[in-house]
Amino acid sequence: MKNIKKPKKSYILIFNEKRIFGKDFVFGKWHRHPFENPDAHDESKIAQQAVTIDEFIEESFYIASEKLEII
């Protein structure tokens, strides 16, 4: 039996050494770790939409500037 690695992507926004937002692609599906509760797995229809790294960075800048007011 051959061990085949599954494709996985993880995008994470970290603040004070903690994940505060994230988006993961695991086992062929996307899910989100929302800013309001980054330990949760949001698997809603909108959270399952694919995201590019540029889109993730744009949303992270929004969180940093509007919600954290650090930019």
Cα–Cα dist 42/31, whole Å: 6
Mean pLDDT of the chain: 92
Give the global pTM: 0.84
Residues with Cβ within 8 Å of 52's Cβ and at least 6 positions away in sequence, in order, are none
Residue pLDDT, tens place only, 40-50 = 999 999 999 99
Q: Which pLDDT band, with edges at 50, 70 and 90, does 7 fall under? A: confident
Tell me, what DSSP letter sits at residue 7? P
Task: State which amino acid sits at residue 48.
Answer: Q
Residue pLDDT, tens place only, 18-36 = 999 999 999 899 999 999 9
pLDDT for 4: 58
